[in-house]
Structure 1
Amino acid sequence: MAAQRMRDRWKTTLADSPYGVRTIEAIRPVLDQWVDRRHGLLTYRLVQLLSGHGSFGHYLHKVARRETSPSCHECGDADDTAQHTLEVCNRWNAQRHTLVATIGGDFSLPSVVANMLSGEESWEAVVFFCEEVISHKEAAERAREDTVDANPLRCRRRGRRRTQFAARLIP
């Protein structure tokens, strides 16, 4: 009873949130299933795809301010969002083809989330897609950051914590 009241309050709070609207619109209708599921772990790269915060030109330009434009480095599209990566970018057609075989061809985020909740196989297919695609996008981003003529906006932050951590790594 108390758990259901808390979930209802959570749904109401999420309905009024100005942030994370894309993710909230996908998960809020199936929040009870999401919370009660017995399969599927949230991985770092899955969360990037769900939230849109990651190696996407849109995020790197508008939020992180590390890109000069939101365009896609893979296909040249004007706006590289998480949805563009999931549904449109032709660079990821092979990975998307594998995903279609498991969850079907509707790549709207609410449909993807519903498919993930339908079973472990679907969840794992989406996770595999995220791991495969976003790891490649991250590697390409690091390569762009490490070029000699990289825009200072793009360069990785070299703060005290990063320097200390790097010093502890085994060569």
Structure 2
Amino acid sequence: MVQEHSRIYEVGRESNKQIQEESNQECQRRWELDTDKARWTKRLIRNIEAWCQRRHGEIEYYLTQFLGGHGCFNAYLKRFGLKNTDKCWYCGDVDTSEHTFFACKEWAGYREAMHEGIGETVTVDNIINLMISKESNWQVIHGYIKTVLKEKETYERNIEKEERRRNGM
């Protein structure tokens, strides 16, 4: 962004739009080159310019967990020693953001309602394009993500409370 502003200042003849396009291309190139970081996020958000230029949709706590793959996912929590297992509480598969939102049978009813609300099946490959294409899609998908994560958090808190009770804490 700083480079973009200094180029606009230095090159008075070039149009601001052209400079911005070049800056966006550079951002996309760097996004694609750094393959070691944020793999899940990059799998979801393939076109960084389209994501950044969307005209609707705020990022909040639950959406951040989904997009980053961080939060109440046992595979993530186990990596940091916060859980003893990486398994899903509901089905026993490895509990990741992808598993929770696209595969876990526990959320099949909510997932089906989301698909009906959008008018097509939402997948890892199309979720971001669907979200940024229409505000109503954003609202439906965001609602699904928020509902699932809130329910997971409540369930996990109840499990932890029960474990503390059993252990006399």
User: TM-score scaled to structure 2, two decimals?
Assistant: 0.79
Greater RCO (CA < 8 Å, at least 6 residues apart): 1
Aligned to 1:165: none
Partner of 1:163: none
Q: Which runs of 5+ in 2 are unaligned?
A: 1-17
1:135 aligned residue: 150
Deviation at 1:114, TM superposition (A): 0.9
Equivalent residues of 2:74, 2:88 under 8 A apart: yes
Q: 1:25 aligns with which of 6, 18, 43?
A: 43
The answer for the alignment partner of 1:5 in structure 2 is 22
Distance in 2 between residues matched to 1:126 and 1:148, nearest whole Å: 35
* Identical-residue share of aligned pairs (%): 28
Shift of 1:143: 2.7
**1:42 alignment counterpart:** 59
Q: Deviations over 1:117-155 (max 9, x none)?
A: 11011111111011100011112222333332689xxxx
Question: Which one has the largest radius of gyration?
Answer: 2
Question: Secondary structure of 1:148's match?
Answer: helix
- Partner secondary structure for residue 122 of structure 1: helix
Match of 2:98 in 1: 83
Q: Counterpart of 2:44 in 1: which secondary structure?
A: helix
How many residue pairs are counted as aligned between the two chains? 147
Partners of 1:112 and 1:46 in 2: how far apart?
12
Deviations along 1:98-124, whole A, 9 cap, x unmatched? 11113322422x311111111011111
> How far apart in 1 are the matches of 2:145 and 2:43?
20
SS in 2 for 1:75: coil
The alpha carbon displacement at 1:12 in A equals 1.8
The alignment's C-alpha RMSD in Å is: 1.9
- TM-score, with structure 1 as normaliser: 0.78
String of CA shifts for 1:63-90, please: whole Å, max 9, x gaps: x32111110002222x011111111111
Structure 2 residue identity aligned to 1:86: F
Is the CA contact 2:62–2:145 (under 8 Å) kept in the aligned structure 1? yes
d(CA) in 2 for partners of 1:117, 1:102? 15
Q: In structure 1, the residue corresponding to 2:45 is in which secondary structure?
A: helix
CA–CA distance in structure 1, aligned partners of residues 166 and 25 of structure 2? 48
Aligned to 2:33: 16
User: 1:11 offset after TM fit, Å?
Assistant: 1.4
